[in-house]
Every structure is written in structure tokens, then in C-alpha cells.
Amino acid sequence: MAGGVGSRFWPSSRINHPKQFIDILGVGKSLIQQTYERFLKKFQAENIYIVTNAAYVKLVQEQIPQIGIQQILAEPVGKNTAACVAYACGKISKINEDALCIIAPSDHLILDETAFLNKVELAMTFAKQQNALITLGIKPSRPDTGYGYIQFVEEEVKPEVHLVKTFTEKPSLELAKTFVDSGEFLWNAGIFVWSVEAIKNAFKEHLPEQFSLFDEAIADYFTPNEAETIRKIYEQTRSISIDYGIMEKAENVYVIPSEFGWSDLGTWTSLYEISEKDENGNVKKGKNIMLYNSQNCMVHTTAKPHHKIFVINSVKDLIIVDTPDALLICDKSKEQEVKEIATDVKIKLGEKYS
């Protein structure tokens, strides 16, 4: 899934070049390139599909030139993750009605790729045996209010596989603390495994209108009519997440508790938390950054060497992001406001800053 805008990473992430296409970690590869290469370790290239906004198809082709055009599913407009899943799984089912699908965001960090692929394999084995919708849940390291939580039944139905009891979206801090202390909850990473048959049955039961729209489109997949058919469907289909539309309602939902160095990299602070810090707790991403008497700051710049220096003195707990046309300075405790700030800037100053 590669259609998001990543507005919480403004001003680096923009509508015309969002987070998944940026080398946000400073490793020489964008997040989508890292995700693609991660799955290549286990799956054949022809079995990897990327769902993205039609505006980003060229970016996908530039960054992953080896991928075939039929493997890039272009959404005419974003309609949340249920439509994305219905489109992808429907197209895959036309090739193989017995296929298993792994649904994964393109912009997450996974440090232990071996552990991750082992959990995926475990989930696939279970999905072959059961009419099951499986999610990988992350063992929480702190009471984070920015994540969804999955409550699971303690007894295993298979080794490492648990039945899901409840989903809770972004709880209050007090509730998050209760969740973590109980040991019954996991973070929802938004990584799913199921057979195309299982997910089709789930759509048919819980999102029947969406099921009908996409099921009727299968005949046009891999034909010249596909783009026009999808355009018409996206005009009609509702915008709803796969979590709310199906996972929270279905009874055959299971979770595999996991630890593989995961972060959704949803905010500048999440990048700060996983980055290497200096002796004062500062993170520097970029060249010519000089910090004095400052603590626990995140400084990110794309300025070319010798074009600009950054001298920062006597501040703490700040996010400082410099791009060629915008500068963000924000207290880390207020970073949840970045998305709203980006929207306000767009309204007041125009599309070029969005």
C-alpha cells in the first residue's frame, strides 16, 4: 500500500512526493524501495503488487524500475484501505483463486527482516489451513496514544496464533497505560495475511456494496478497460478503512504477537526515537548541523553541503526541518499538530506548499 500523503512528515513529505518515496532514514533508499527489497527476499518479483495513487505511478516506476506496469494498481483517488485491499485482492484472485495475500504498508521501518519474514511465513501457514484474517501485532514498548491496539485471547489456537477479542483506535494515555500493563494488548501494525477467498467472504458479509462493485470489475482486470472500470468504481465506493470495515466486525480474526524492530514512522518523533543520538540526545539528519547547549532535538535538512550551515543554540525538545522552500520549528510535544499546520499552510499560501 503506497498511496498515502504522509502529511505528518511535512514539510519533507509533500503531495507530489510523499513520505514513502523519500530517503527519510538517510540510508540511500526510500522507504518503498526498502519495503520492496524486503519482500524480494521471500517472494518472486512477479508476485509483488503496489497499490498507489495514479499520480504516483511514475514515481513507483522510477524507484522500482523492474516492476511491471500490470503490478502497479493505480487508484484514481484515495478511498482508504478497504478499497485498496478489495482492488488488489480481486486482481490477484483473477490470476489465482487459491492465492494467499500479505498486505503491508510501504512506509514502515522493520529492523529485523528475518524475524518479520518468519512471522509472515507462520501467518501464511495458518491462512492455508483456516478461513482466517490474520494480523501481525507488535508487542508494545510504551503506552503510545498514536497507535491502535489489539486485545487477544491468551490461549493459543495454534503455536503463536491467538484469537482477537477487540480493536481500540488511539486510546487516551491513561487507557494506553492500562492496556500495556495488562499484557493483553498489542499495537496494530496494519500488516495482514489471508487467502483471497477469506477476504472476499469478509467483504461479502461486512461490506457487501463494496464487494459487489469490485467483484463485477474482475472481468476487466488485466485488460485495456481496467483503468476506466476502476475510475467508475472509485466514484461510487465509500471511503472506509479495512480495520473499521472488516477487522473490527469479523469473528475469524487472529493475531500473531511479534517483535521485529517495527515503527510506522508516522511522525518526526517516531523517526527521532529510532535514530542514533549524540551525547545530548540530539538527532542530526543532514550536513553542516552544529548544535550548542541543546538537548533532545531532531534536526533534518536536505540542504547540499556548502550551501547552508545550521547553527542551533540553547534549545531543547524541538523538531527542526529545513527544505528548499519551507522551515518547520515545532516543540516535540506538539508534533501531532503538524498535519493541521500543513493543511492551514495549503489553505493560506497555496498548493505549492502542500
pLDDT digits (tens, 9 = 90+) for 232-250: 999 999 999 999 999 999 9
pLDDT at residue 272 greater than cutoff 80:
yes
Identify each DSSP E strand in 278-317 by its residue range.
Answer: 283-285, 289-292, 298-301, 310-313
Helix or strand or coil: residue 128? helix
| pLDDT given at position 305 | 66
Which segment of 2-6, 67-71, 94-98, 225-229 scores lowest on mean pLDDT?
Answer: 2-6
Any idea which of 164-178, 200-214, 292-306 has the lowest mean pLDDT? 292-306
pLDDT for position 353: 86
pLDDT, mean of residues 167-183: 92
Give pLDDT, residue 321. 95
pLDDT for the residue 303: 73
**Domain spans of the chain, in order of start:** 7-263, 268-353
- Nine-digit cell string for 295: 538537548
pLDDT value, residue 350? 87
**Dihedral in degrees, nearest 10, Cα atoms 36, 38, 42, 43:** 0
* CA 335/CA 318 separation, integer angstroms: 9
Identify the three-state secondary structure at position 62: helix
- State residue 6's pLDDT score: 87
Instruction: Give the whole-angstrom CA distance, residue 76 versus residue 231.
Output: 6
**Mean pLDDT across 104-128:** 97
Query: How does pLDDT run across 293-349, given as a tens digit for each residue?
Result: 999 999 999 877 667 899 999 999 999 999 999 999 999 999 889 999 999 998 999
CATH no. of 7-263: 3.90.550.10
By the 8 A CB rule, do 9 and 285 touch?
no
**Alpha-carbon torsion angle 341, 342, 345, 350, nearest 10:** -160
Amino acid at site 124: M
Return the bridge partners of 289, or none: 310
